[in-house]
Amino acid sequence: MAKKIKLKFAFILSSILTIFLILLPNIKAKTEFETIEKGVLTFGTNATFPPFEYLGDDGKVTGFDIELGEAIAEKLGLKAKFIDMSFESILPSVKNKKLDAGIAGLTKTPEREKEAAFSMSYFEGNQFILTKKDRDIKNEKSFENLTVATQVGTTANEIAKKLATKVKNLKLKEYDSNDIMVEDLVQNKLDAVILDEIVSKTKEIKYGDKIKATDGKVIDCPIENSCIACSKENKELLEGINKALTEIKSSKKYNELLKKYMHIDLKEKEKAIKKNGLTEQFSTAFLEKDRWKLYLKGLLVTLTITIISAIIGFFLGSILAILKLTKTKSGKTTIISRIVNIYISIIRGTPVLVQLLIMWLVILKNAKNGILVASIAFGLNSAAYVAEIIRGGINAVDKGQTEACHSMGFSQVSTMYYVVLPQGLKNSIPALCNEFISLLKETAIVGYVALADLTRAAFSISAATYQTFMPLILTAIMYFLVTKLASIILGLIERRLSQ
């Protein structure tokens, strides 16, 4: 009996030893951090959030978080890379390993902690309540019967939701953009807005005579701790970031950063904000610092996605249209035709934004090239519409020609190829041109998958210049000019082909 126990003990001991021996070299090898791109620390951020992150005068993302991120990467022996994307997509992208980390003034909440791991806090900020000058917020009761807005996914958003459960008749509204939200407050569409300290102060300067900021302490707003989000699976990276943060926070560099972005920033920006004339606005939003290049870059992204997805949509759509028209010999619809039908109704019955996000976060979650993913998503979407257009065009071809082909001995396929399809496509040209133009406009949502298209450029410039009106108007004009140009060119092609 005693012998047996000894044997067992020896066995366990030796297995533990072997495991150690196997793990040891691995532990030693892990001095280099595992990242999605070797030697690069890829951060996701949302550059509409000055002074944390915004587009600098050179058109690149800059701000407190960015410089901090760079300092962290340096400490870890990595190169920092920042991807500007929609705020809501950052955490899912971290979770799906499209990013190494998220740095966007993110606050730790229990819900967010389900998605990602959070580092120690690197900045503590208060929440502020913005109202029109004539409204006083003294306590929670002051919120009765008010319409309160917050930005989706922010701490303020959580605070407002909690507040709504306690206060009578509080109406909640959610915005994607801070700028539009505060603009709406000024326009009396909202009664109050909850925002973090720095943004509130900036807004107060911009609309000084119209709005005021009240410290969130009056309603016991929790202090907002900004943290960096990491994948839960990459514990080594999280530890590394925490270690780097501890070092940075006790260094001179951290104080310099605070000074540069959190204090002086306000006064410098004050001048920019005070510019009110249209020509002045135009020159800041378009000419100054070569900002027009940003719009053009965005436009290029928009056009690239539109053209690639139009090509995918056209070819796939034509195939789908033909498959949908297949019939069995006894004249019944085939299984393939039914499957195509289901595909078309699902695509047409769901929003393209949802399809894009499913493509980015679920189906192609390992793909890094946003343009490719967006083009595929839009291409698949467009194919469903193109299929219906071409099917209509084919059905409009007079059946007699099909009969004539059959009566001469042509097969179904050659009848389609030589006679029906060329005419069906020609019938479809006007509707296909319309589809191209709506596709061009629909791509305005690709900001959700980290692409800097024309619309995203407008948001970024708006955040950098503290203007909402001019960047949006300029973007609208550019979309209009491009769609107008496209419809003229397509019109010429249409006329040429219909001769």
Q: Is 414 in the site for other proteins (CB under 8 A)?
A: yes
CA distance readout (Å), 119 to 73, 81, 95, 106, 161: 14, 18, 15, 10, 25
Q: Is 422 in the site for other proteins (CB under 8 A)?
A: yes
Q: Annotate 383-400 with three-state secondary structure.
A: HHHHHHHHHHHHHCCCHH
Instruction: Please give the sequence-ordered ranges of beta strands (E in DSSP) within 169-299, or none if there are none.
Output: 171-175, 192-196, 211-215, 224-230
Q: Is 411 in the site for other proteins (CB under 8 A)?
A: yes
Name the residue nearer to other proteins (CB basis): 11 or 417.
417
Name the residue nearer to other proteins (CB basis): 58 or 398.
398
Shortest Å, Cβ 412 to other proteins:
10
Q: Is 498 in the site for other proteins (CB under 8 A)?
A: no
DSSP notation for 44-80: EE-SEETTTEEE-TTSSEESHHHHHHHHHHHHTT-EE
Alpha-helical (H) ranges within 235-277 are: 235-249, 252-258, 264-273
Q: Is 110 in the site for other proteins (CB under 8 A)?
A: no
Among 250, 401, 438, 498, binds other proteins (CB under 8 A): 401
Among 171, 406, 484, 495, binds other proteins (CB under 8 A): 406
Name the residue nearer to other proteins (CB basis): 77 or 422.
422
Among 426, 429, 434, 487, binds other proteins (CB under 8 A): 426
Shortest Å, Cβ 404 to other proteins:
4
Among the residue ranges 51-59, 242-250, 259-267, 394-402, the one whose residues contact other proteins (CB under 8 A): 394-402
With b for 16 or more beta-carbon neighbours within 10 A and e for fewer, the 130-159 pattern comes to: bbeeeeebeeeebbeebbbbbbebbbbbbb
Q: Is 410 in the site for other proteins (CB under 8 A)?
A: yes
Name the residue nearer to other proteins (CB basis): 114 or 406.
406
Shortest Å, Cβ 327 to other proteins:
13
Among 110, 277, 349, 400, binds other proteins (CB under 8 A): 400
Q: Is 366 in the site for other proteins (CB under 8 A)?
A: no
Name the residue nearer to other proteins (CB basis): 355 or 428.
428
Q: Which bin fits 450, alpha (ψ -120 to 50), beta or left (φ > 0)? A: left
Q: Is 407 in the site for other proteins (CB under 8 A)?
A: yes
Shortest Å, Cβ 423 to other proteins:
5
Find all residues with CB under 8 Å of 309, minimum gap 6, and list them: 374, 375, 376, 377, 378, 379, 381, 382, 439, 443
Amino acid in the structure at residue 414: S
Q: Is 403 in the site for other proteins (CB under 8 A)?
A: yes
User: Peptide bond before 471: cis, by omega within 30 degrees of 0?
Assistant: no
Q: Is 413 in the site for other proteins (CB under 8 A)?
A: no
User: With contacts defined by CB under 8 A, how many residues of the chain interact with other proteins?
Assistant: 19
Among the residue ranges 147-155, 242-250, 420-428, 488-496, the one whose residues contact other proteins (CB under 8 A): 420-428
Q: Which helix (H) or strand (E) holds 180?
A: helix 178-186
Name the residue nearer to other proteins (CB basis): 25 or 331.
331
Q: What is the token pair recorded at 44?
A: 């996701």
- Do residues 84 and 47 make contact, with C-beta atoms less than 8 angstroms apart? yes
Give helix 421-442 / helix 469-497 axis angle, nearest 10°: 170
> What residues are paired with 84 via a beta bridge?
45
Q: Is 2 in the site for other proteins (CB under 8 A)?
A: no
Name the residue nearer to other proteins (CB basis): 25 or 400.
400
DSSP notation for 423-486: HHHHHHHHHHHHHHHHHHHHGGGGGGGT---HHHHHHHHHHHHT-SHHHHHHHHHHHHHHHHHH
Name the residue nearer to other proteins (CB basis): 2 or 408.
408
Calpha distance 64→190 (Å, rounded):
30
Among 404, 476, 481, 492, binds other proteins (CB under 8 A): 404
Shortest Å, Cβ 406 to other proteins:
7
Q: Is 398 in the site for other proteins (CB under 8 A)?
A: yes
Q: Can you give the binding site for other proteins, defined by CB under 8 A?
A: 397-398, 400-401, 403-411, 414, 418-419, 422-423, 426
